[in-house]
């Protein structure tokens, strides 16, 4: 590979590679959450993009908020790579597709490198992805090398090619961190501590990208910090070696053909209804559906449609605005009265209840289309991967919420947690309404999802 250097002597690949399934790829992980994986991944993506690189970023595991940031950094939608929700073949197909149009593939891990089943390490091992580890070095010196080396040697089927020291205090601190590292585990970058570059958070994680007006300026500042941090690091060509993804299988979604041809599916999408996997939208379009996106918060009416998807988000923050929409709730009632399919996930389900009480204890009347009430609580109510049996087949996804709900409806199914966790969400069906706390990953069972959205009018 040609020796093309980023400013401050930080290596990156050229943008002259022909379209193929061969592309440099890197999984960015850490020993735990909160080490700076998202900011480092976003910084690297924005830095490469500013130099004309075509960057594709993926997120390991179920997540909506980090991908919003990474999408802005890379200028391209960020898809999930999850061995449970999507499976090995689906993930490999996504990587192969990205390799055909990218100069660099970045994959942000989830939690710690070895946490969860499947873990980020499992994903890296499945596809031979080299791993770069991010460590918060703010309270350590030589122990940094011991921790990094332990992560690198813990599993023989992993290739940890470098380490990033985050929240470094000084150049001298960076030198102390690097001196104990083995030769095959270079310090790729040392990033100075900069509290002003932190992003605001709320109860479900980072504040959404669309709510951060200065996000692009902050991403550029992160990229500047990355470029400067590389000057305090060591060169490592092994980090950027290309991988071959040519063995990807056929796309199971395309094998279904135009199963939703002619179907108009409305999708609520705004700051209230924002927890949407890009792969879900892509799958519906691939199956021939015409997607009609609309914003209830902006006062937009429900489009003329054959089916409707209300994804999760933050109804507790926008309940008054929803209630103020003169026709929104009435149009939902008319949709259900006409027997048209409506999928309501998590926050989308809460909008259909009789009442929703926010974190301040204020109760808000909602649509009254699903009997029951919900209330936000200060502690996490549910978290975990989920597998749930729809009448059409098993669909996979995840659950993550701070609210609790009471409803007289009897669930038709209860989800299973692959990690034996306590979270096991019920599925409710009432006429053409299908509702659950589960955030479904449509490509986990394309035929079942197509059968629902293509159901009776």
Closest CA to 131 of 139, 123, 142: 123
Give the up-direction half-sphere exposure of residue 103: CA atoms within 13 A in the CB hemisphere: 19
CA angle 186, 94, 224 (to 5 degrees): 40
d(CA 234, CA 14): 19
Contacts (Cβ under 8 Å, ≥6 apart) of 322: 272, 296, 297, 315, 328, 329, 351, 366
DSSP letter assigned to residue 139: T
d(CA 439, CA 397): 5
pLDDT score, position 197? 59
d(CA 135, CA 204): 23
pLDDT score, position 209? 45
d(CA 329, CA 227): 50
- Is-same-fold flag (5-244; 252-453)? yes
Domain ranges of the chain: 5-244, 252-453
Name the residues annotated as catalytic: 346
- Look at phi and psi of residue 102 and say left if phi exceeds 0, alpha if psi is from -120 to 50, else beta: beta
d(CA 101, CA 22): 10
Q: What is the pLDDT along the chain (457 residues), one digit of tens a residue?
A: 222 223 333 333 333 334 568 899 999 999 998 899 999 999 999 999 999 999 999 999 888 788 888 998 999 999 999 999 999 989 998 999 999 999 999 999 999 999 988 999 999 999 999 999 999 999 899 999 999 999 999 999 999 999 999 999 899 999 999 988 998 999 999 998 876 656 555 444 555 544 555 788 888 888 888 888 887 777 666 677 889 888 767 777 888 899 999 999 999 999 999 999 999 999 999 999 999 999 999 999 999 999 999 999 999 999 999 999 989 999 999 999 999 999 999 999 999 999 999 999 999 999 999 999 999 999 999 999 999 999 999 999 999 999 999 999 999 999 999 888 899 999 999 999 999 999 999 999 999 999 999 975 4
pLDDT score, position 21? 80
User: Do residues 113 and 120 make contact, with C-beta atoms less than 8 angstroms apart?
Assistant: yes
The CATH code for residues 252-453 is: 3.40.50.880
Q: Which residues of 180-214 are buried (b: 16+ CB within 10 A; e: fewer)?
A: ebeeebbbbbbbbeeeebebeeebbebbbbeebee
Closest CA to 272 of 312, 299, 308, 307: 312
d(CA 148, CA 185): 8
Question: Rounded to an integer, what is the distance from CA 244 to the centroid of its chain?
Answer: 24
Burial of 457 (0-12, 13-18, 19+ CB in 10 A): exposed
**Quick one: fold of 5-244?**
Rossmann fold (3.40.50)
Give me the phi and psi of 351, to 5 degrees please: -65, -30
Task: Provide the β-strand partners of residue 28.
Answer: 108, 132
- Look at phi and psi of residue 384 and say left if phi exceeds 0, alpha if psi is from -120 to 50, else beta: left
């Amino acid at each position: 590979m040609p020796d093309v250097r980023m400013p401050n002597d930080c290596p990156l690949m050229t943008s002259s590679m022909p379209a193929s399934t061969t592309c440099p790829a890197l999984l960015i992980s850490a020993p735990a959450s909160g080490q700076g994986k998202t900011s480092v991944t976003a910084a690297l993506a924005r830095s490469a993009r500013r130099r004309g690189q075509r960057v594709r970023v993926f997120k390991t595991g179920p997540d909506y908020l980090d991908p919003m940031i990474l999408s802005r950094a890379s200028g391209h939608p960020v898809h999930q790579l999850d061995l449970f929700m999507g499976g090995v073949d689906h993930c490999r197909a996504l990587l192969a597709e990205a390799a055909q149009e990218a100069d660099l593939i970045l994959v942000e891990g989830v939690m710690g490198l070895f946490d969860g089943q499947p873990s980020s390490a499992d994903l890296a091992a499945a596809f031979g992805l080299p791993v770069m580890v991010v460590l918060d070095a703010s309270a350590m010196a030589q122990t940094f090398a011991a921790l990094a080396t332990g992560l690198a040697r813990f599993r023989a089927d992993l290739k940890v090619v470098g380490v990033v020291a985050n929240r470094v205090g000084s150049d001298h601190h960076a030198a102390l961190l690097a001196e104990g590292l083995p030769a095959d585990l270079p310090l790729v970058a040392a990033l100075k501590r900069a509290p002003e570059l932190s992003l605001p958070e709320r109860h479900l994680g980072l504040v959404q990208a669309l709510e951060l007006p200065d996000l692009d300026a902050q991403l550029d500042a992160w990229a500047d910090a990355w470029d400067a941090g590389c000057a305090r690091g060591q060169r490592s060509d092994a980090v950027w070696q290309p991988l071959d993804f040519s063995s990807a299988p056929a796309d199971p979604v395309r094998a279904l053909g135009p199963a939703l041809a002619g179907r108009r599916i409305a999708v609520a999408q705004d700051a209230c209804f924002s927890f949407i996997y890009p792969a879900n939208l892509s799958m519906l379009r691939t199956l021939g559906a015409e997607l009609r996106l609309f914003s209830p918060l902006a006062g937009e009416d429900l489009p003329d449609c054959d089916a409707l998807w209300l994804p999760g988000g933050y109804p507790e923050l926008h309940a008054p605005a929803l209630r103020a929409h003169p026709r929104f709730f009435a149009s939902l009632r008319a949709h259900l009265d006409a027997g048209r399919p409506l999928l309501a996930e998590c926050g989308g389900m809460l909008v259909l209840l009789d009442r929703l009480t926010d974190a301040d204890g204020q109760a808000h009347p909602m649509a009254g289309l699903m009997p029951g009430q919900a209330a936000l609580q200060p502690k996490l109510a549910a978290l975990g991967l989920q597998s749930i049996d729809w009448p059409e087949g098993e669909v996979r996804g995840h659950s993550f919420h701070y609210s609790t709900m009471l409803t007289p409806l009897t669930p038709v199914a209860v989800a299973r947690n692959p990690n034996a966790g306590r979270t096991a969400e019920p599925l409710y069906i009432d006429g053409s309404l299908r509702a659950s706390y589960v955030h479904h990953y449509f490509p986990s069972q394309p035929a079942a999802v197509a059968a629902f959205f293509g159901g009776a009018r």
